[in-house]
Amino acid sequence: MTDPFVVVGGDAAGLSAASKYRREAPDRDVVVFEKGDWVSYAQCGMPYFVKGDVDSMTDLLSLSPEAARERGIDLRRRHEVTAVDPDAKTVTVRSEDGTFEQPYGDLLVATGARARSAPVPGTDRSGAFTLHSMDDTAALRAFLVDEAEAEEIASVDYVDADYVREYGARDPPETAAIVGGGYVGVEMAEAFAAHDLDVHLFQRPEQLLRPFGEAAGDLVAEKLREHGVTVHLGTEVEALTGDDGALSGIEYDGGRLDADVAVVGIGVRPNTDLLEGSGVELGDSGAVEIDEHGRTNREHVYAAGDCAEMRHAVTGDADWVPLGLTANRAGRAIGQTVAGDPEPVGDIAGTAAVKAFELECGRTGILDHERARDAGFDPVSETVTAGSRSGYYPGNEDTTVTLTADRETGRLLGGSIAGEDRAAVRIDTVATALESDLTVPEVERLDLAYAPPFSPVWDPVLVAAKVLASDLDAE
Amino acid sequence: MTDPFVVVGGDAAGLSAASKYRREAPDRDVVVFEKGDWVSYAQCGMPYFVKGDVDSMTDLLSLSPEAARERGIDLRRRHEVTAVDPDAKTVTVRSEDGTFEQPYGDLLVATGARARSAPVPGTDRSGAFTLHSMDDTAALRAFLVDEAEAEEIASVDYVDADYVREYGARDPPETAAIVGGGYVGVEMAEAFAAHDLDVHLFQRPEQLLRPFGEAAGDLVAEKLREHGVTVHLGTEVEALTGDDGALSGIEYDGGRLDADVAVVGIGVRPNTDLLEGSGVELGDSGAVEIDEHGRTNREHVYAAGDCAEMRHAVTGDADWVPLGLTANRAGRAIGQTVAGDPEPVGDIAGTAAVKAFELECGRTGILDHERARDAGFDPVSETVTAGSRSGYYPGNEDTTVTLTADRETGRLLGGSIAGEDRAAVRIDTVATALESDLTVPEVERLDLAYAPPFSPVWDPVLVAAKVLASDLDAE
């Protein structure tokens, strides 16, 4: 009997791999070890549960443990893999019943990432959250709502009920401090504002949402302020302070803010501790190096999702951009590959979208000039603001597009879009163009859809390409 | 002194060319002859003016005659070019002051298209419209509103005031018959419904919006019916009937409908009568054949816009798809080429979008299997319905995507999308992919944006590509 396909981690990449593997090889075994209680949950939905847009915690699960088992997946929750031995082809598993060695035929490391809290001291205080786990999400929402609703949350399957009840019993907070102006920070500003808190967002750089570029970052800051959020740019948070392990405020360069709830969203780092001593190579990012099929340098060991690097479509180099689609796609491809039908995991372009109240933002590829230069390009950018619809059609909204290209070849390297009318999905046009290695003049000539209610004759992306093309022309 | 650049037709292609030419060659002359009163008007906006979404006729003008003159364009309205002599390099121009010969250095034929009415008799009856001119649009709206508002419309510059007043003085119609279920028909159904008319739409084929494929066509019919429009599919209109030249009803195979207003939208045909005897070659469509720079077979004679064919990005063959962006882009490119800096007019993919009440539809490339086979492909299609957002996020709407590919090469040939949440703009992703010659597996691996409020992990386009790719795989 052959050893099973062993998957470490029961979230997007791991369960996508296990599901695809079972469909392709229904007579072979797959075991998934998940160290926690929750599996296959939508991290990106958490701020919207806290806000109240999502009714139930369980709505965030794309696959329940029961449904995973129905697919023939041997899912073991509360099982932590602590070591990998590629020579012996075993993993060491720790569970409530003790520690054991599990042999594998093939192994997928899909351990994800965890929230960074360093270098900010005090993030372990009660009232401070990183919002990277379902239990944190449940507890934070319980904190914001009345006790009856908190009790409903506590009674949901898999939830750490004591933790949730502890917050449910408290008085709701009045002032929220958000540390970090990335996705989590911006989305949580909207979530806290919906609960009528006095919201302060602290961002060390002078710009929110740095991967989205300056124009989008400025518009998001403006939008947050419009909704009453106090945005502290260029401001470093020095500590989360308080007595007896509880949060009562934030100290930052320039002052102090009394706050009774805080969310720290200053990035994540890959979970790779279990690979120590395994000989599996990590990249510069600290995430696992993989090839086009998700294979690591050690035979029969694969990695996917937030713990793995991927090839960037623009640079051709390994890069680490932990995002949901990447994890799902790579997991699925590896499931198919392990089942015997090799499938590439695909490249990434770092395409992402985020909502800030009414404002929609999208980004893809390489916008940052320093990064573009590091990759050997000579970057040039243009930012334009154009209408989302025909000027005469109601609902026409300013749409701000930045495109970056390589001066020498004219190749499109990256883009970002911000606006209130269908702006975010337009980034997919830019993503498709740069993954197809189009030049800016080629983008300018794309035959995109025109209809007064959805787009002007010249779509904002085409307007930006036109302006950038004339820069390139003028050289 | 050199002869001027002469442009025939003062709409999108003509004035784009003239404007670009003046910017590139500010010391050289350009003369634009327009046979009517109106220049540079947004045809696609007309149904929305009739409906009432657009406040004023003049909002539909993208360039006024005064603004054109400020750009240094010698614009002559009510000047009809009746003949072209490429040997003598002259055009024959008829105006109120008589007929004259105008020499040209270069000539652009941008005469557009006109509404087809054949083979339906009676389209010249009073109360029947083709909605291809600004005056028709003005008169139709005047018919629907009260006399005071009609008088406002009649007093707008350039409008045929007598024609408008004639309709303004009538009792508003109660029953509308729409002949043809293309863009104009579907948009006019929405417009008439907004005025609380009893609306009947007649379509000879069994499907509305044929270029959008069956799935989108069915959804549009359903949406129209939901809003009280009676949709008669597979029904041929035999005549528009009435006494004394006025419309009183519609005769169709199967019955008769009393109607006091009708719009006939059964297609357009290119205006090329002026080229008779000129030796300028027309394609099978009846539109002018051009090369990649918009040149006809006769030296110094260009053509662009609704009267010209263009190269199709998928087939590589000449095709005739009269659309707004195509006209603007080709006109602009020719203006630049004639000024001395050759610029390609670009390919077309037949990308288009249309709104039917809340439903948004987009289409691109080749969907029709017969057409695909004619172009040498072996077509295979899949239609899927997937969510527009994460399932747990409010406002998630069914989005129906059809993709067509070539079985042998896997190349994406065409697509259509229909849905109520940002569906139409998603077609630009498909358009960009097929203009980049992507295969379906390449589309499946595109790194598109995921964020719960805008798109699920797997965008509907990716879901369709995944399903179609597995068909291709199974062969």
3-state secondary structure chain A: CCCCEEEECCCHHHHHHHHHHHHHCCCCCEEEEECCCCCCECHHHHHHHHHCCCCCHHHHECCCHHHHHHCCCEEEECEEEEEEECCCCEEEEEECCEEEEEECCEEEECCCEEECCCCCCCCCCECEECCCCHHHHHHHHHHHCCHHHHHHHHCCCCCCHHHHHHHHCCCCCCEEEEECCCHHHHHHHHHHHHCCCEEEEECCCCCCCHHHHHHHHHHHHHHHHHCCCEEECCCCEEEEECCCCECCEEEECCEEEECCEEEECCCEEECCHHHCCCCCCECCCCCECCCCCCECCCCCEEECHHHECEEECCCCCEECCCCHHHHHHHHHHHHHHHCCCCCCCCCECCCEEEEECCEEEEEEECCCHHHHHHCCCCEEEEEEEEECCCCCCCCCCEEEEEEEEECCCCEEEEEEEEECCCCHHHHHHHHHHHHCCCEHHHHHCCCCCCECCCECCCCHHHHHHHHHHHHHHCC
- Closest-CA residue of B relative to A365 is B447
Alpha-carbon span B322 to A453, nearest angstrom: 19
Rounded to the nearest integer, the mean pLDDT of chain A is: 96
Report the pLDDT value the prediction gives residue A25, as an integer from 0 to 100. Answer: 95
CB contact under 8 A, B60 and A448: no
Report the pLDDT value the prediction gives residue A473, as an integer from 0 to 100. Answer: 82
Residues of A in contact with B323 (CB under 8 A): 450
Smallest Cβ–Cβ distance between B436 and the set A353, A428, A438 belongs to A438
Q: Which CATH number fits domain A128-266: 1.10.1740.10, 3.50.50.60, 3.40.50.2300, 3.40.50.620?
A: 3.50.50.60
Catalytic residue among B24, B29, B44, B170: B44
CB contact under 8 A, B447 and A435: yes
Report the pLDDT value the prediction gives residue A118, as an integer from 0 to 100. Answer: 76
Other Cβ atoms within 10 Å of A383 Cβ, number: 18
Structure confidence by residue, pLDDT tens digits, A404-434: 999 999 999 999 999 999 999 999 999 999 9
What residues does each domain of chain A span? Answer: 5-36+78-113+270-338, 128-266, 358-474
Smallest Cβ–Cβ distance between A313 and the set B326, B447, B454 belongs to B447
Min Cα distance B311 → chain A (Å) is: 12
Report the pLDDT value the prediction gives residue B119, as an integer from 0 to 100. Answer: 82
Catalytic residue check, B44: yes
Residues of A in contact with B453 (CB under 8 A): 48, 355, 360, 424
CB contact under 8 A, B461 and A328: no
Alpha-carbon span B134 to B47, nearest angstrom: 11
- Closest-CA residue of A relative to B446 is A432
Report the pLDDT value the prediction gives residue B272, as an integer from 0 to 100. Answer: 97
Smallest Cβ–Cβ distance between A452 and the set B45, B349, B446 belongs to B45
**Prediction ipTM score:** 0.96
CB contact under 8 A, A364 and B449: yes
Residues of A in contact with B459 (CB under 8 A): 428
The third-level CATH classification (topology) of the domain covering B358-474 is FAD/NAD(P)-binding domain (3.50.50)
Report the pLDDT value the prediction gives residue B468, as an integer from 0 to 100. Answer: 98
Residues of A in contact with B390 (CB under 8 A): 42, 44-45
Residues of A in contact with B328 (CB under 8 A): 457-458
Number of H helices, E strands in chain B: 13, 25
Min Cα distance A330 → chain B (Å) is: 10
Q: A226 falls in which pLDDT band (50, 70, 90)?
A: very high
Smallest Cβ–Cβ distance between B325 and the set A350, A355, A447 belongs to A447
Low-confidence ranges of chain B (pLDDT < 50): none
Residues of A in contact with B461 (CB under 8 A): 428
Min Cα distance B178 → chain A (Å) is: 20
Q: HSE of B47 in the Cβ direction (CA atoms, 13 Å)?
A: 26
CA trace torsion A475, B5, B11, B16 (10° rounding): 0
What percentage of chain A has pLDDT greater than the value 70?
A: 100
Report the pLDDT value the prediction gives residue A1, as an integer from 0 to 100. Answer: 60
Report the pLDDT value the prediction gives residue B475, as an integer from 0 to 100. Answer: 61
Beta-carbon contacts below 8 Å between A and B? 203
CB contact under 8 A, A451 and B352: yes
Q: A475 falls in which pLDDT band (50, 70, 90)?
A: low
Report the pLDDT value the prediction gives residue B118, as an integer from 0 to 100. Answer: 76
Structure confidence by residue, pLDDT tens digits, A172-213: 999 999 999 999 999 999 999 999 999 999 999 999 999 999
Alpha-carbon span A332 to B466, nearest angstrom: 11
- Name the pairing type of β-strands B198-203 and B175-179: parallel
Q: What is the mean pLDDT of residues A423-450?
A: 97
CB contact under 8 A, B450 and A44: yes
Residue A18, both tokens: 């296990």
Say whether B358-474 and B5-36+78-113+270-338 share the same fold: yes
Alpha-carbon span B334 to A246, nearest angstrom: 70
Residues of B in contact with A428 (CB under 8 A): 426, 428-429, 446, 448-449, 459, 461
Opening angle at CA A331, ends A50 and A335, nearest 5: 140
Query: Looking at the predicted structure, is the pLDDT value of residue A373 above 80?
Result: yes
CB contact under 8 A, B451 and A354: yes
Query: Looking at the predicted structure, is the pLDDT value of residue A131 above 90?
Result: no
C-alpha distances (whole Å) from A308 to each of A265, A280, A292, B17, B240 are 20, 11, 12, 51, 68
Report the pLDDT value the prediction gives residue B2, as an integer from 0 to 100. Answer: 87
Report the pLDDT value the prediction gives residue B437, as an integer from 0 to 100. Answer: 97
Q: HSE of A174 in the Cβ direction (CA atoms, 13 Å)?
A: 4
Which architecture characterizes domain A5-36+78-113+270-338 according to CATH?
3-Layer(bba) Sandwich (3.50)
Min Cα distance A70 → chain B (Å) is: 21
Structure confidence by residue, pLDDT tens digits, B246-276: 999 999 998 999 999 999 999 999 999 999 9
Q: What are the catalytic residues of A?
A: 44
Q: What is the mean pLDDT of residues A19-47?
A: 95
CB contact under 8 A, B449 and A431: yes
Most A CBs within 10 A among B292, B432, B458, B461, hence the mutation to make, goes to B432
Residues of A in contact with B13 (CB under 8 A): none
Min Cα distance A427 → chain B (Å) is: 7
Smallest Cβ–Cβ distance between B424 and the set A44, A344, A449 belongs to A449
CB contact under 8 A, A425 and B454: yes
